[in-house]
Amino acid sequence: MPVLLCGSLAFDTVMVFQGRFQEHILPDRIHMLSVAFLVPEMRRNFGGVAGNIAYNLSLLGESSEILATVGEDFAPYATWLDRCGISRRFVTTMPDTYTAQAFITTDLDDNQITAFHPGAMSLSGTVEVPTNAGVRLGLVGPDSRDGMIQHASEFKAAGIPFIFDVGQGLPMFDGAELRQFIDQADWVVVNDYEGQLLEERTGLSATDIAQRCRAYIVTRGAQGSIVYAQGETHDIPVVSPERIADPTGCGDAYRAGLIFGLVNGLDWATTARIASLIGSIKIAHHGTQNHRFTLDEIKDRFAATFGYRF
């Protein structure tokens, strides 16, 4: 088992508002905000950072394990993971809890407003990283505060290299705690908004962060991504999608590409381009685990897009 993904498994209820949030939120009324958006389109998907990354890795032909805590309502998701051939060996059901639930509203500009119920995820700190299970690479993604701190420490103590993906968990930590995560991790990945907050909260620049780990990766949506690694900066172009259907889960698809490149010893320019390509495939489909591809298809599309094969 080369890859262990520590993070959330969640049900995502995704709603699409056929308008723009900015047209309905008055800047001078933020302090007394009360808005309602009509969302005639709604879907319930299987999601969560760990589940989404594992799904994309399975499409790439890479096996992974998920370390997560779920609720008594998890059965439909469990069936889906089994159908996809994704292991549930380290998924623990917590009695008298719900599986984590995200309620996401997206507007026509791909802005999102999310409400999140952590449920059983709040207890993720009660399960330990299986350091004797042959793990060669880990990921600490958005999870409970205790779980993220514990699993990062366990990876570090066991000498297992890992990716730190703070995501929407960033507000739970102060600057000192975030600096500790960065120092423990081998790779740090954020989107541009998270990156700005991370740098402000830690007082570290992008260059500073990159010097404290092997690589610092910042995704920038339609502007592509940047990899700061070993004194070099790789500016990675975005891959134009066939259409823009749903941005939810694109970051997780990108992270699966990063893990694929790391596991297979690829250079950063190639690794991040694979990640960008997978993200572009995902955004053309609704939901976080409804797109399909094979590794051969990815290789062919990569060659057609970037002019060389990996």
| pLDDT, tens digit, 9 for 90 and up, residues 85-103 | 999 999 999 999 999 998 9
Q: What gap in Å lies between CA 310 and CA 299, rounded to an integer? A: 7
Residue 1 has pLDDT above 70, yes or no: no
Query: What's the pLDDT score for residue 287?
Result: 86
Domain assignment present for 27: no
**Hey, what are 13's tokens?**
């209820």
Domain assignment present for 236: yes
How many structural domains compose the chain? Answer: 1
Q: What gap in Å lies between CA 197 and CA 216, rounded to an integer? A: 14
- Quick one: which of 233, 246, 232, 228 has its CA closest to 284? 246
Give per-residue pLDDT as tens, 100-121: 998 989 888 878 888 889 999 9
Domain assignment present for 298: yes
- Quick one: which of 101, 133, 174 has its CA closest to 5? 133
Classified as helix, coil or strand, 155 is helix
Domain assignment present for 76: yes
10-16, strands of its sheet edge to edge: 41-47, 10-16, 100-106, 112-117
Domain assignment present for 30: no
Write a three-state SS string for 88-150. Answer: CCCEEECCCCCCEEEEEEECCCCCEEEEEECHHHHHHHHCCCCCCCCCCEEEECCCCHHHHHH
Q: What percent of the chain has pLDDT over 90?
A: 84
Domain assignment present for 35: no
To which residue do tokens 């701190």 refer?
A: 149
Q: Give, in degrees to the nearest 5, the angle at Cα 194 between 193 and 198.
A: 125
Query: What's the pLDDT score for residue 56?
Result: 98
Q: What gap in Å lies between CA 184 and CA 141, rounded to an integer? A: 14
CA atoms within 13 A on the CB side of 20: 4
Q: What is the CATH number of the domain that holds 167?
A: 3.40.1190.20
- Mean pLDDT value of segment 29-49: 86
To which residue do tokens 């809890």 refer?
A: 97
Domain assignment present for 26: no
Task: Look up the domain containing 106 and give its range.
Answer: 3-21+40-302
Domain assignment present for 223: yes
Instruction: Count Cβ atoms within 10 A of the Cβ of residue 161 and give its class: 0-12 exposed, 13-18 middle, 19 or more buried.
Output: middle
Q: Give, in degrees to the nearest 5, the angle at Cα 225 between 44 and 55.
A: 35
| R_g over Cα of the chain | 19
Query: What's the pLDDT score for residue 31?
Result: 75
For the beta carbon of residue 134, count every other beta carbon within 10 angstroms.
10
Residue 27 has pLDDT above 80, yes or no: no
Query: What's the pLDDT score for residue 43?
Result: 85
CA atoms within 13 A on the CB side of 165: 26
